[in-house]
């Protein structure tokens, strides 16, 4: 099963992430960067969508495969590993041959090995040093490990509610307590640590179960198109209100802002509004994983290029637009 709105939501997610990184690298004023910080929640939107689509696809395959768990891990590995490994190699080459540092921490042999084994997420120093943006791949990989267990034990609406509540009341306090104990790693424990992100994956599972039970909840098949559109727009407006209310988008509002995606997904599942679900967002969604890992390299090259051509182009909105245009041209080529 393939849904256009899921592709479009991935496209919206990657667009938000790219705009944030472009604003930072093009030296935008602090007030502009503060506004574009909402784009960082694109990662959490990916997580909610990941859980949603994995439950959907596993439900569709469960009676068609002899070894579903084995097949699941094979599919996931070949979905994420090839390009991720390429990003790691690219980061190593650039680090060794130039003075540029794409990642935050110094790259070590241990980091490289742990990155290739997908265990870099368990070390604050390694989680984002093997490849720019690698921290989110590490978190996603940790979810994959748990997925068969979660699917087997929480594949109903009631159980998904229980899972979501447990994850919120167990994982969040532990993560923030660890951040208090290790203040040097606050960023790690409050946003990059798998347990702090687990409730967001659970939101995706809960969203899928709501979508799956839509017939029992609102007798969906008997609701006419006009009423569906009304329900859809209410859900999307409610999602927008939650997201706006979450400003500023710091780690303290991680759960609140991410919960907005539950209503956004359900709203678009009911009706595919063109201003969100269109060929452009669908296209971005289909290449979103590639864009996520590659855009860091393209953006860094664009930054160097603009600084050499015209330093005055940096630090203003027109510079941000120019930055995105040049990056887009490079990406197409």
User: Mean pLDDT per segment of 10 residues, for the chain of length 333 residues?
Assistant: 91 94 85 88 98 96 88 95 94 78 74 92 89 92 97 96 97 97 95 97 98 81 86 96 93 96 96 96 95 89 79 74 74 61
pLDDT at residue 332, rounded to an integer: 62
What pLDDT does residue 91 have? 87
Q: What's the rounded Cα separation, in Å, for the pair 219 and 213?
A: 9
Q: Which runs of consecutive H residues, i.e. helices, occur in the chain?
A: 4-25, 30-36, 42-61, 68-97, 109-116, 134-153, 157-181, 186-187, 194-212, 214-218, 225-245, 254-270, 279-286, 288-309, 317-332
Q: What is the pLDDT of residue 149?
A: 97
- Residue 260: the pLDDT is 98
- Residues ≥6 apart with Cβ < 8 Å to 323: 22, 25, 26, 299, 302, 303, 306
Can you tell me the distance from the alpha carbon of 218 to that of 212, in angstroms, rounded to the nearest whole number?
12
Quote the pTM value.
0.94
Cα 196 to Cα 190: distance, rounded to the nearest angstrom: 6
Sign for the pseudo-dihedral over CA of 245, 247, 249, 250: negative
Q: Token digits for 58?
A: 């596993």
Instruction: Give the Cα separation of 216 and 228 in Å (integer).
Output: 15
For residues 6 and 256, what is the distance between their CA atoms, to the nearest angstrom? 21
């Amino acid at each position: 099963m393939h849904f256009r709105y899921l592709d479009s939501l991935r496209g919206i997610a990657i667009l938000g992430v790219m705009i944030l990184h472009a604003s930072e690298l093009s030296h935008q004023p602090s007030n502009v960067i503060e506004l574009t910080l909402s784009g960082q929640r694109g990662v959490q939107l990916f997580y909610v969508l990941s859980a949603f689509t994995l439950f959907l696809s596993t439900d569709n395959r469960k009676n068609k495969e002899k070894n579903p768990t084995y097949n699941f891990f094979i599919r996931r590995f070949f979905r994420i590993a090839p390009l991720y490994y390429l990003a790691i190699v690219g980061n190593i080459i650039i680090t060794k041959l130039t003075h540029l540092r794409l990642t935050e921490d110094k790259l070590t042999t241990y980091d490289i090995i742990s990155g290739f084994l997908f265990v870099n997420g368990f070390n604050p120093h390694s989680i984002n040093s093997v490849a720019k943006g690698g921290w989110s791949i590490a978190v996603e990989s940790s979810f994959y490990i748990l997925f068969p267990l979660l699917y087997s034990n929480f594949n109903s609406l009631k159980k998904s509610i229980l899972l979501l509540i447990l994850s919120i009341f167990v994982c969040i306090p532990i993560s923030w307590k660890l951040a208090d104990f290790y203040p040097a790693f606050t960023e790690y424990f409050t946003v990059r640590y798998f347990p702090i992100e687990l409730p967001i994956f659970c939101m995706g599972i809960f969203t899928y179960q709501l979508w799956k039970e839509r017939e029992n909840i609102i007798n969906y098949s008997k609701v006419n198109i006009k009423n569906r559109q009304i329900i859809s727009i209410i859900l999307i407006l409610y999602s927008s209100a939650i997201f706006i209310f979450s400003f500023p988008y710091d780690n303290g509002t991680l759960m609140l802002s991410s919960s907005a995606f539950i209503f956004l997904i359900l709203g678009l599942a009911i009706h595919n509004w063109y201003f969100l679900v269109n060929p452009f967002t669908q296209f971005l969604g289909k290449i979103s994983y590639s864009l996520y890992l590659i855009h860091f390299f393209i953006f860094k090259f664009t930054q160097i290029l603009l600084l050499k051509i015209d330093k005055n182009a940096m630090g203003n909105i027109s510079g941000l637009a120019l930055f995105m245009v040049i990056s887009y041209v490079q990406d197409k080529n």
